[in-house]
Chain A
Amino acid sequence: MVRAGVLLLLLIVCALSLVTSRHQARMLFVELERGRQQAQTYEVDYDRLQLESSTWSVPARIDRLGRGPLAMQLPEPGRIQVIEVPPSQIFSRGREQ
């Protein structure tokens, strides 16, 4: 009788904990889902920003801005001085991979 009662109690406790853990799992899942969505949004934003940066840095635009509003020009060959640097001290271009 007593043993049965203990078992019954245990069963109820187990059942309730199952319910709570199940609920918790769902809450966490919702959290995860939100995180995923966020990640996706960031990814999309990243692509859009990259696209934007490429669009702004198109060579034709740089060329136009340099020659136009900024009034830049190529130096005459006579005004260029070449400095010999040992290869070990040359930094590769930043965007080189």
Chain B
Amino acid sequence: MTFNIGLLSSRRKQAPMPELSPVRALFIFAVLGALFLVLIGKAFYLQWVRGDFLQAQGAARHVRDVEIPAHRGKITDRFGEALAISTPVKSLWAFTGKLNASDEQIKALAKVLDTSPQALKKRIEAAGDFVYLAKGVSPEVAEEALALKIPGLYDERVYRRFYPAGELTSQILGFTDVDDYGQEGLELVRQDWLGGKPGSRRVIINRKGDAVEDFAGVRAPQEGRNLALSLDLRLQYLAQTELRAAITEHKAKAGSLVILDAQTGEVLALSNWPTYNPNRRDELVPARMRNRALIDVFEPGSTFKPFTVAIALDAGRVRPTTVMETASGQWTIGRATIHDNSVKGDLTVEQVLQRSSNVGTAKVALMMPSEKVWQGLSSAGFGMPVNTGFPGESTGRLRPAKSWRPIEQATISYGHGVSVNLLQLARGYTIFTGDGELKPVSLYRTSGDVVGKPVISPTTAAEMRRMLEMASLPGGTGVRAQVPDYRVAGKTGTARKPEKGGYGNKYVSSFVGFAPVSSPRLIVAVMIDEPSAGKYYGSVVAAPVFSSVVGKALRMLNVPPDRSAVPIMLPFDGEDIMEET
């Protein structure tokens, strides 16, 4: 600035400025001042009064918010096989008013979308302002449609969730809604884990609409996390196939099957029938969607007897060879009488289990105070939640010991007056397969050693394994559970279903067992609801299902056989030892 002033002052010396009339000077000053004020005023107006609007307009022309999509996590089986996966698909839409397509174009579009021009036109005419011309088409199809350059036709990216295993896993996984938000099953309870939150960023775009620069902070998307289930898809398929065959053969209403890893408590397969296909949403029927093995409870009947016997053995009240008086085949407690239907003679405790005697089991139970029985049963997980986190999981019911009358203690000992869900029953059997610990069960893949809660001593557990194996050898109720190559152990159950005012003529057939006995790997629980083709005993309805599932499963898992292939002795038709609970 000094530079300038120097220049001026030197000029002034050379040529003095002429005098200016004060009026004129004032006039010019006023005019210039006023113009200046106008400018300031306009600047003020633009900056403060119209500022927001103008800035928004400017931003709209060169700043754009771009969504960074986040995708829902995958659900896989224990080996990483995809069970639920979201992939982007496109929807094509238009504002009907702005859609301006020639007949040629409509024809071409119909061809791309695999429909007829008439149907497409009808759809556009029937719609209001806005119409979806196609929903959930593959990105290639959408691209082809957009390549027709029909004015007013736009695409939109949406996610669609696919379930490759379909009905095999539907009741466990559940499904998602149109916004890919969990609606049922694990999709619902693990929404927070699986669901992604889309991020966004603000970019500057050039005149072609390409992003040229990040403009403001980027909000990073939160990707959905993957979820590995404990299921083994091949075992799941095996379970489903065998269960379905049995239900068809015995004209049953429904059924469930659970396979547990005996060491870790992981659920390797959990199957129910009927089921549904999650990829066809229009056919959903609530009854088919119910995961019966976790939600429904039933009276277990004889499959419950091993727990009573184990509690008594562990308490030192009986030994496997203790003789119980069962010869009469009935026992009157108070005003009620309980029966055995095929037991003759006095039986030892191990025979009570082998032949499934109600009277024998009740006598064993009544040798102990009710408090003791209750404590044993509840520490084996009955009346206690299984805690899989599955929505609607039932707890079952085991009433407090104080309210038990002797007759109730007797019936509970053989599985009546107590209710369980199938997974809970299978979990209970973990106390026999290991060192007497109740293992926590999980629907998710676990790693490392699983520590259970001790319920019975390792010696008692070993005794129980031996006795349950006896029950599935000739002379026991579970002979049809045998498998070539592997030693199996388990207990049958045939329970009348409680109805209004007592027990009716409908049955639940069940079998719970494990194999190989020398070092148990799998626990399999089968439940068939209301078999109505004549046979209803657990020994002929449920035990064969156990046999084929466990045999094939162990072979799939490459478990070395622990029994040399000997022919299995099966009773002739009608000569099975039957039990009535």
Contacts and interface: CB of A to CB of B under 8 A. Distances in A.
B82 A77 contact: no
Interface stretch (B162-170, B246-254, B532-540): B162-170
Nearest to A45: B87
B85 interface: yes
Interface in A56-97: 57-60, 63, 77-78, 80, 82, 84, 93, 95-97
B234 interface: yes
Contact of A54 (B85, B86, B212): B85
A63 B211 contact: no
A25 B213 CA distance: 8
A84 B562 CA distance: 12
B565 A84 contact: no
A85 to B, nearest CB: 9
Nearest to B557: A93
B552 to A, nearest CB: 8
Nearest to B234: A59
B333 to A, nearest CB: 47
Interface secondary structure of A, over-half rule = helix
B164 A59 contact: no
Interface in A13-28: 25-26
Interface string B289-304: 0000000000000000
Chain B contact residues (Cβ within 8 angstroms of A): what range? 20 to 34
A77 B168 contact: no
Given A44-B88, A50-B85, A60 B237 contact: yes
Contacts, number: 71
A51 B162 CA distance: 8
B571 to A, nearest CB: 20
A54 B81 contact: yes
A88 to B, nearest CB: 15
B561 A54 contact: no
Nearest to A49: B87
Contacts of B88: 44
Contacts of A47: 71, 74, 85-87
Nearest to B566: A77
B4 to A, nearest CB: 13
A57 B484 contact: no
Contact of A58 (B80, B166, B211): B166
Contacts of A30: 210-212
B79 interface: yes
Interface of A: 25-26, 29-30, 33, 40, 44, 47-48, 50-51, 53-55, 57-60, 63, 77-78, 80, 82, 84, 93, 95-97
Pairs of residues from A and B, 8 with the lowest C-beta to C-beta distance, nearest first = A59-B237, A54-B164, A77-B484, A54-B82, A26-B212, A95-B79, A55-B164, A77-B565
5 contacts: A29-B213, A33-B211, A40-B69, A55-B164, A63-B237
Given A55-B162, A59-B237, A82-B561, 13 more contacts: A29-B214, A33-B210, A33-B211, A44-B87, A44-B139, A47-B86, A51-B85, A51-B87, A54-B81, A54-B85, A54-B164, A58-B166, A59-B238
